[in-house]
Amino acid sequence: MQNNVRPESMARITTPELANAFIKEQVAAVRAQVGDKKVLLALSGGVDSSVVAALLIKAIGKQLVCVHVNHGLMRKGESEDVIKVFGEELDANLIYVDATDRYLELLAGVSEPERKRKIIGEEFIKIFDEEAAKLEGISFLAQGTIYPDIIESKGVKAHHNVGGLPEEMEMELVEPVKLLYKDEVRVVGEALGLPHGMVYRQPFPGPGLGVRCLGAITRDRLHALREADAILREEFDKNGLNHVWQYFVAVPDFKSVGVRDGKRYEGWPAIIRAVNTVDAMTATIEEIPYSVLHKITDRITHEVEGINRVCLDLTPKPIGTIEWE
Ligand code: XMP
C-alpha cells in the first residue's frame, strides 16, 4: 500500500498524457493489491468517488461493487446520471438504493441543522452497512480520499464528512487517488472518459439539499427547491457562469403573500447564493449580471409551483457561512 505522503518528485498531473500514465500505473497497482477479490465502493456521484469508480472499473471490472444511495436530497438528475454513466455506459456492478422515503420520514419535523446532518449521516452508514451485509466475499473497501482530505483530516473537513463510512467496517482500503489534488482528479476523470459535467461539477455538501431546504424538510418544499436549483444551474450554464465555485438555491420554511392570475398566491422565497472561494474558509460574492437574474427570477416564479419570490444573498463569508444552515 502507498503511504500517505506525496513524494516531492511526483509531477503535477495537468495533461491527458500524464493522466494516462497515472491511470496505467494505478490500474496495475490496484490489480496487484486486489487480485481476484471483490471491492466495495460508496458511489455518491461526486467527483472523487466517480473517478475512483471509473478507475476501478478499468482495473477490475465487475469485481468492483458500487453502491449508490439516493437519500432523496440529491440535486435534480444526479442519481439518474449515476445510473446512466455507471450502470449503463460503463456496465458497472451497481446497486442503486432509493432511500428517499426512509430519509424523509426520519427527517420529518426536524428543524435543527446539526440534528438533520446527524440523521442524514447516520442513516447513510446504516444503509451502506445493510447493503454490504447482503453481499458475499467483499474483501476491500474503496474510497475517494484525495490529498487535501489527508492534509485537512484534523481540520474543517472533519465535521463535514457526514457521509463517512462505518468505522467497524474493517476492510483493507483501496484509495487510488489519495495522493492527488482536486484539479488532478478532474484531469484523470476526463482521461477516463467521464462526462465533463460530472468531473467539473461544483462541490455539493454530503447532506445535499437537506441543508438548503431550511428548517423542517417537507416533500413539497424540497421539490420546489430542487426545481428552482435546476433552473439556476441551467441558466448559469447557458450564460457562461458555471466557473463560479458554488451556486445554489435555498428555500426557507415561511411563505409570503403574492398574487397570480388576479388571486392571492402565497409561496416560499427562493434565495440565490453564488460564491467564489479558494478554500471555503472565506468567500466572496459573484456579481451575476442583472439580465441573468431577471431571467432566473422569471423562470423560477413561472415554472416552479410554490415559489412566488426570488431573493439574492449578497453576504460574503465571513459573516455569512456558505450554506444557510
Ligand atoms: P460553510 O457553510 O461552512 O461551508 O461556509 C463551507 C463548505 O462546506 C460545504 N458544507 C458541507 N459539506 N457536509 C459536507 O460535505 C456538510 O455538512 C457541509 N456543510 C457545509 C459547503 O457546501 C461549502 O462548500
Reported as a single tens digit per residue, the pLDDT across 218-231 is 999 999 999 999 99
Residues 155 and 297 in one domain: no
Q: How confident is the model over 230-245, as a mean pLDDT?
A: 97
> In terms of pLDDT, which residue wins out, 158 or 117?
117
pLDDT surpassing 80 at residue 2: no
pLDDT of 160: 46
Q: Separation of 282 CA from ligand 1 center, angstroms?
A: 12
Could you tell me if residue 322 is inside a domain?
no
Q: How confident is the model over 202-215, as a mean pLDDT?
A: 97
Q: Which of 154, 177, 199 is the last residue of a domain?
A: 199
Q: Separation of 101 CA from ligand 1 center, angstroms?
A: 24
- Pocket probe for ligand 1: among 146, 161, 322, the residue whose CB has the most ligand atoms within 8 Å is 322
Domain that holds residue 240: 212-312
pLDDT of 159: 42
Could you tell me if residue 10 is inside a domain?
no
Where residue 230 sits, what CATH number does that domain have? 3.30.300.10
**Separation CA 160–CA 97 (nearest Å):** 23
- Pocket probe for ligand 1: among 323, 324, 325, the residue whose CB has the most ligand atoms within 8 Å is 323
> What sign has the CA pseudo-torsion 157, 159, 165, 167?
positive
Tell which atom from ligand 1 comes closest to the C-alpha of 117.
17
Interval 8-34: pLDDT, tens: 999 999 999 999 999 999 999 999 999
Could you tell me if residue 8 is inside a domain?
no
Tell which atom from ligand 1 comes closest to the C-alpha of 203.
24
Could you tell me if residue 319 is inside a domain?
no
pLDDT surpassing 70 at residue 168: no
Indicate the pLDDT class of residue 267, thresholds 50, 70 and 90. very high
The three cell numbers locating residue 29: 497497482
Q: Separation of 280 CA from ligand 1 center, angstroms?
A: 8
Q: How confident is the model over 201-208, as a mean pLDDT?
A: 95
pLDDT of 161: 44
Indicate the pLDDT class of residue 153, thresholds 50, 70 and 90. confident
Residues 303 and 251 in one domain: yes
Q: Separation of 102 CA from ligand 1 center, angstroms?
A: 23
Residues with CB under 6 A from ligand 1: 117, 160, 162, 203, 205-207, 246, 280, 317, 321-323
